[in-house]
């Protein structure tokens, strides 16, 4: 793996760090490939239960490296007939089959594609110095790493369109008020808090946790009847599973 992305595992928790601090962790082709490799490694490793995405230095990520756009994406991506079904312009943002929990630990700049990468994660927590925004607006760069779909789903249509269309920056407090992040912590405590949350989730029995995330992801946007059918199909096998039987036995032994 490139040293532009660091993959560190401690027990069942993985930390994936974008390691271009001198460039505010912007993403060039090498970094994108390394991010894709890191996330597929996490997906396929049964010993890894939760992953945290963060950035080294003073920023989470400022998005695509606009000095190296020719290194990003497939060679024929600018063909008007091209249909992109690969891993994502920034490496991993079109992966939709990771059903383990993911956390974005956002420090400093979280702009443009950086915001799209954070939105890809299930949970976002922010340092007090975090800033968010679709700053690519000013350069006529489109959101092509899921931002047009994920951001409005996270914060609602009005606020999503506000971020996408105005290109304005919002601080961590506003991001918390809008529901873009779920917690704001002191900068020096960010990674520790993310690891604490990851440890809580990693300690749970994983069968129903993973199937519940899968049901939520696959049911999102479907008519309720179809979504409930997916929930039932994924959840009911766990009701009589050995893992659930053991969980119920532990509950019944409580005083």
- Expressed in angstroms, the distance from the first to the final Cα of the chain is 50
Give buried/exposed letters for 39-51 (b at 16+ CB in 10 A, else e): bebbeeeeebbbb
Task: Name the helix (H) or strand (E) containing 105.
Answer: strand 102-106
Rounded CA-CA distance 96/114 in Å is 18
DSSP 8-state assignment for residue 100: S
- The torsion angle over the Cα atoms of residues 104, 105, 109 and 113, rounded to 10 degrees, is -10
Catalogue the E-assigned strands of 150-230: 170-171, 183-185
DSSP 8-state assignment for residue 134: -
Contacts of 71 (CB under 8 A, 6+ apart): 28, 29, 30, 32, 65
Residues with active-site annotation = 116, 136
CB atoms within 10 A of CB 248: 11
């Amino acid at each position: 793996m490139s040293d532009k992305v660091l993959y560190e595992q401690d027990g069942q928790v993985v930390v994936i760090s974008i390691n271009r601090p001198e460039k505010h962790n912007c993403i060039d082709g090498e970094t994108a490939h390394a991010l894709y490799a890191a996330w597929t490694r996490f997906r396929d490793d049964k010993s890894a239960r939760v992953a945290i995405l963060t950035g080294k230095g003073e920023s989470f990520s400022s998005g695509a490296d606009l000095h190296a756009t020719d290194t990003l994406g497939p060679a024929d991506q600018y063909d008007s007939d091209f249909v992109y079904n690969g891993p994502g312009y920034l490496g991993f943002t079109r992966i939709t089959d990771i059903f383990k929990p993911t956390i974005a630990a956002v420090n400093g700049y979280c702009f443009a594609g950086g915001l799209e990468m954070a939105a890809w994660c299930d949970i976002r927590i922010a340092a007090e110095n975090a800033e968010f925004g679709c700053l690519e607006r000013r350069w006529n760069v489109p959101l092509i790493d899921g931002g047009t779909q994920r951001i409005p789903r996270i914060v609602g249509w009005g606020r999503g369109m506000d971020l996408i269309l105005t290109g304005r920056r919002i601080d961590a407090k506003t991001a918390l008020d809008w529901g873009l992040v779920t917690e704001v912590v002191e900068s020096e405590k960010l990674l520790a808090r993310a690891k604490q949350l990851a440890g809580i989730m990693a300690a749970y029995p994983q069968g129903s946790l993973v199937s519940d995330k899968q049901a939520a992801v696959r049911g999102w946007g479907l008519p309720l009847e179809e979504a409930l059918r997916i929930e039932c199909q994924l959840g009911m096998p766990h009701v009589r599973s050995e893992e659930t039987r053991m969980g119920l036995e532990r509950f019944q032994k409580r005083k």
